[in-house]
Amino acid sequence: MADTHVPAQSDSLESINTGPARPVALENIETRLNELWREVASTAQNRGGSGAVTMAQVLNLIVHAPSYDAASEYMQETELITGRHPCRVISMVQDHDDPDMPVQGLVSMFCQIPPAGGRQVCCEQVTVTSGSNSLRQLPAAVLPLLLSDLPVFLWWPQGAPFDDYVFRQLADSLNRLIVDSATFENPEGTLSRISSVLKSNWPRLASTDMNWGRLTTWREIIASFFDGPALRPYLERIGRVTIEYSMSGKGRTVNRGQALMMAGWLASRLGWQANDNAYRLVHADDQLPPIVHLSLRSGKRPVEIYLRPTMRQAEVPGSLCKVRLVVPTQGTAGQQGEVQASFEVALCDEPGDPGDAWSEVQVEGMTPTHRNIHLDAFSRADLLDIELEVYSRDKVYEETMNMVAALIKGVSSGRDTEGPRRLISGEAISAAQTQPPRNRPPGTPGTPGNTPRGNMP
């Protein structure tokens, strides 16, 4: 019942690490892990502790990585949340660009020590690698490593997994899939498929999206506008919504994932229906990608939603920067219609804390209120931390995604696969991305100069 989310941080915590992951034959992984538990216990004892190590595992977390380097990066992020989610992390590397990468396992252990010098909580870290010629063996290598009776999460940090061979083999064993639509090459196309693909193929698999997690604070603030009885009636009369989103910091990639989910959330919660061909592009500014105009209705009342790109830069492509809900004066419509009430939340433009924001409510005949607020900026580890607390389906998310699918039906049939990001032609201007040199895990035959993870004890 954690009311408060505290950002995942391990800076202040002492840790024990068993050093760089060591290669081990797949059939010996469990044995090796047992040895590591003993090593950790003895390290703890040498440091003056009681020697007791908490062996508690609450879940399995499979992490998909397109390269060994990426796997190391993700593993470090999972270490930040070890204390809250003691688990077995199985990082599965599918290196499509390395045909000769063998299927092999590497194991290590990471333990967090509470500040008071209490006992450790540890994560077992297993990495299983595969290359393009061996990836069909990967599912059979991963499945036996799952701890029985514990929920299985799959975190797919980059792109969408639905067409991936390994994912399709594992899907029946999973409880919850975590994707991040901020990394989708074709967010519209993929988001429109998520609900139908899951429903038809893996109806029991719960899924979520880190981009959905990024909207939580926005949703809370927007909901709070309408908590009181005085303003609650305006919720039924919203006729126009403007959602502004940022470009990616690196290129100027367009990703309307968050904006679409915000629109889908409002529409599904408030019972709006998408009109046929609801999605329309409006070219308003030569410097910017087009605005998306979504047309919906609430009963007979029209509702317009505009997804507007801004020049504002953000680390996560498509991050929201403003949401404005407008109740038009009766009889006026369209983007320029007269306003009876407006409810707005936006990030501050001035440099400062990136979470600084304001909210404003203006209602005809009332004193406007303007307030400074703070929007929590969640790191990927924070978002993962939050998602791992939920074991079941998220009905509100699923209804949102159904609505997103209805809003963008037939717009884009592009599919997401992993690999280098491609941009949708005509929609984006992007800096060329270069592929960094690839490393292989230690012990791999023909390993080029690889960089072990800097996590020696």
Q: Which of 137, 224, 295, 329 binds other proteins (CB under 8 A)?
A: 224
Of 123-182, which residues contact other proteins (CB under 8 A)? none
Q: Which of 97, 100, 172, 220 binds other proteins (CB under 8 A)?
A: 220
Of 330-349, which residues contact other proteins (CB under 8 A)? 348
Q: Which of 394, 411, 438, 442 binds other proteins (CB under 8 A)?
A: 394
Nearer to other proteins, 172 or 353 (CB): 353
Task: Pull the structure tokens for residue 232.
Answer: 């609650």
Please enumerate in sequence order all residues whose Cβ is within 8 A of that of 106, keeping only pairs 6 or more positions apart, or say none.
21, 22, 23, 24, 126, 127, 128, 129, 441, 442, 443
Minimum separation from the CB atom of position 263 to other proteins (A): 13
Backbone conformation region of residue 159, classed left if phi is above 0, alpha if psi is from -120 to 50, else beta: left
Asked if 270 is part of the footprint of other proteins (rule: CB under 8 A), the reply reads yes
Listed ranges 146-154, 193-201, 247-255, 360-368: which one lies at the site for other proteins (CB under 8 A): 360-368
Listed ranges 224-232, 282-290, 412-420, 431-439: which one lies at the site for other proteins (CB under 8 A): 224-232
Render the burial of 99-119: b for 16+ CB within 10 Å, e for the rest. eebbbbbbbbbbbbbeeeeeb
User: How would DSSP label each residue in 321-368?
Assistant: EEEEEEEEPTT--STT--EEEEEEEEE-SSSS-TTEEEEEEEETTS--
Q: Which of 172, 371, 420, 452 binds other proteins (CB under 8 A)?
A: 371
Asked if 2 is part of the footprint of other proteins (rule: CB under 8 A), the reply reads yes
Asked if 114 is part of the footprint of other proteins (rule: CB under 8 A), the reply reads yes
Render the burial of 315-328: b for 16+ CB within 10 Å, e for the rest. ebbbbbbbbbbbbb
Listed ranges 164-172, 173-181, 250-258, 350-358: which one lies at the site for other proteins (CB under 8 A): 350-358
Asked if 115 is part of the footprint of other proteins (rule: CB under 8 A), the reply reads yes
Nearer to other proteins, 52 or 140 (CB): 52
3-state SS assignment for residue 241? strand
Distance (Å) of CA 299 to CA 234, 384, 401? 15, 38, 21
Applying CB under 8 A, what is the total number of residues that bind other proteins?
A: 61
Contact 318, 260 (CB under 8 A): no
Q: In what helix (H) or strand (E) does residue 408 lie, and over which residues does it extend? A: none
Asked if 367 is part of the footprint of other proteins (rule: CB under 8 A), the reply reads yes
- Among 126, 112, 91, which Cα is nearest to 17's? 112
Contact letters (x/-) for other proteins, 4-23, by CB under 8 A? x-x--x--xx----------
Q: Which of 200, 276, 300, 395 binds other proteins (CB under 8 A)?
A: 395
Please enumerate in sequence order all residues whose Cβ is within 8 A of that of 401, keeping only pairs 6 or more positions apart, or say none.
191, 194, 195, 261, 264
Sign of CA dihedral 167, 172, 178, 181: positive
Contact 16, 79 (CB under 8 A): no
Minimum separation from the CB atom of position 55 to other proteins (A): 8
Task: Pull the structure tokens for residue 399.
Answer: 């209804």
Listed ranges 150-158, 191-199, 262-270, 301-309: which one lies at the site for other proteins (CB under 8 A): 262-270
Task: Pull the structure tokens for residue 418.
Answer: 């992993």
Minimum separation from the CB atom of position 442 to other proteins (A): 30
How many Å apart are CA 452 and CA 431, to the nearest integer? 29
Asked if 372 is part of the footprint of other proteins (rule: CB under 8 A), the reply reads yes
Listed ranges 63-71, 327-335, 366-374, 428-436: which one lies at the site for other proteins (CB under 8 A): 366-374
Contact 159, 185 (CB under 8 A): yes
Listed ranges 36-44, 111-119, 144-152, 183-191: which one lies at the site for other proteins (CB under 8 A): 111-119
Asked if 282 is part of the footprint of other proteins (rule: CB under 8 A), the reply reads no
**Which residues lie near other proteins (CB under 8 A)?**
1-4, 6, 9, 12-13, 50, 52, 54-56, 83-84, 112, 114-116, 118-119, 121, 216, 219-232, 235, 266, 269-271, 348, 352-353, 356, 361, 363, 365-369, 371-374, 394-397
